[in-house]
Amino acid sequence: MTRIHAVFCNLMANAGVAYTLTELMDAMSSSDPDLLLWFPQGNSEVDRHYHRSILNRQVWRALCKMGVAETWVPKIVTRAALRNIREGDLVYVWPPTNIQLVAGARKRGAVVVGERINCMPVTCRTALERAYAHVGRQLPKGYFTPEGIAKEQAEMALCHYLTAPNAMVAQSLIDEGISADRILNTSYGWSPVRLATALAVARPERKPTFVFVGLGIIRKGLNLLLDAWERADIDGRLLIAGTIADEIREVSARQLALPNVQELGFVSDIARVYATADVFVFPSHEEGGPQVIYEAAGCGLPSIVSPMGAGRIVRNEVEGYVIDPFDIDGWARAICILATDVDLRRSIGFAASRRAEEFTWDRVGRRLYDLLAVAARRGPITFADCLLSVPVPSR
């Protein structure tokens, strides 16, 4: 196997990116000791033998104080990585993608795989325009500008291969003209160690607790969930684990004030929330492969999710309900069914937990490694070479 360089050029990774990268790289490094992760700065969450920190904290802070970090950090990371990339290597690029890095890696004879954590921007824009129109609003200014869409399309076109963590991401790539043989079907996953206290917990007969985990924003469909919850009018409670944005407070103020709706805010120990819950609910409009659904399934929770929120783990009613987020009546019915049928909750939860065994980070990472190995052996797809004519924006 040739060397794999994972590259992240952004100013700083949020906790989710650092966590995901580390879990995937840990799993892959057990198969390949030559993995390298190029990262802008030292970060304890990705402090591993394969981690190459580009900037120490002093330089990082100096660039930030000078106000040039946003301009210079991607360039510094790109140059550091390119100095070490050689012909036959595989470069695994995480967004936001740096087009100079992709073009430079290609010129050096490397195979480039782009991580596609969400649908392509045209698909995202269409989904979110519908979501905002539902509450009588336009898409916020600055979302999916023509320039931003064109830039992202050019970046993806230059990659030899692209990952797709669910079927809808894959379809969005095909809709943009990416051929199916350039798409690597992947997924995200979950950690049994991280969620150990929520595994195999006893859930007695009680007033049911439903839980939503994630940012409380229109994109995640929280307003629609609250509408369905109010319509279902069950004897139970809804927990919201995550920061709730003003846009939701403005359109769902009445539902948020219901006595059986409880805001938890940001929760660091999410295992405690899963252990407390009986049903997971996630009506998101646009996702790549939400980790929360894998986690909820791993913890034995039945779920009600949107098609976008199902990831690759919920396929049928044996493992959970998949319902269009705008079908408020359908969501309300599913909430009522799972609220009153304890045996059904347990049956679906058990099936979900068995299915989740296929999606631990260790298994997901090993499958990803195998896909990257195949891509490296195949090398660049010949007809994709014409895409080198795509203009590379200057920075």
* Predicted pLDDT of residue 139: 93
* pLDDT for 38: 73
Of 323 and 25, more confident: 323
How confident is the model over 344-361, as a mean pLDDT?
Answer: 95
Mean pLDDT of 158-183: 94
Residue 253, in any domain of the structure: yes
Separation between Cα atoms, residue 183 and residue 160, nearest integer Å = 9
Residues 49 and 180 in one domain: yes
Question: Is the Cα torsion angle 260, 301, 215, 333 positive or negative in sign?
Answer: negative
Q: What is the pLDDT of residue 382?
A: 46
* Of the candidates 269, 281, 289, 279, the residue with the CA atom closest to the CA atom of residue 167: 289
pLDDT, mean of residues 339-349: 95
The number of distinct structural domains making up the chain is 2
Asked if residue 395 belongs to a domain, the reply is no
Quick check: helix, strand or coil at residue 55?
A: strand
**Closest by Cα among 96, 153, 71 to 392:** 153
**Domain containing residue 302:** 196-358
Is residue 165 classed as helix, strand or coil in its secondary structure? coil
Read off the DSSP letter of residue 189.
Answer: -
Say how many C-beta atoms besides its own lie within 10 A of residue 138's C-beta.
9
Q: Clarify whether residues 68 and 217 are in a common domain.
A: no
The answer to whether residue 394 is domain-embedded is no
Domain co-membership, 213 together with 351: yes
331 contact partners, CB below 8 Å, separation of at least 6: 224, 225, 228, 232, 281, 283, 304, 323, 325
Same structural domain for residues 133 and 237? Answer: no
Helix or strand (DSSP H, E) at 226: helix 222-232
Is 80 exceeded by the pLDDT of residue 47? Answer: no
Average pLDDT in the chain:
87
In this predicted structure, the answer to whether residue 386 has a pLDDT above a threshold of 50 is: no
Which range among 38-52, 74-88, 168-182, 319-333 shows the weakest confidence by mean pLDDT?
Answer: 38-52
CATH of the domain at 322: 3.40.50.2000
Q: What is the predicted pLDDT for the residue at 394?
A: 36
Distance of CA 339 to the CA centre of its chain: 29
Kindly state the helix (H) or strand (E) to which residue 158 belongs, with its residue range.
helix 146-158
Q: Indicate if 51 and 119 belong to the same structural domain.
A: yes
| Average confidence (pLDDT) over 169-184 | 94
Mind listing the pLDDT tens digit for each residue in 7-40? Answer: 877 655 556 777 888 888 888 887 776 777 776 6
pLDDT in tens, 121-158: 999 999 999 999 999 999 999 899 999 999 999 999 99
Residue 226 resides in a domain: yes
Mean pLDDT, residues 304-320 taken together: 85
Residue 395: predicted pLDDT: 33
The pLDDT value recorded for residue 26 is: 86
Angle of the 222-232 helix axis to the 328-340 helix axis, nearest 10: 60
Same domain, 303 and 325: yes
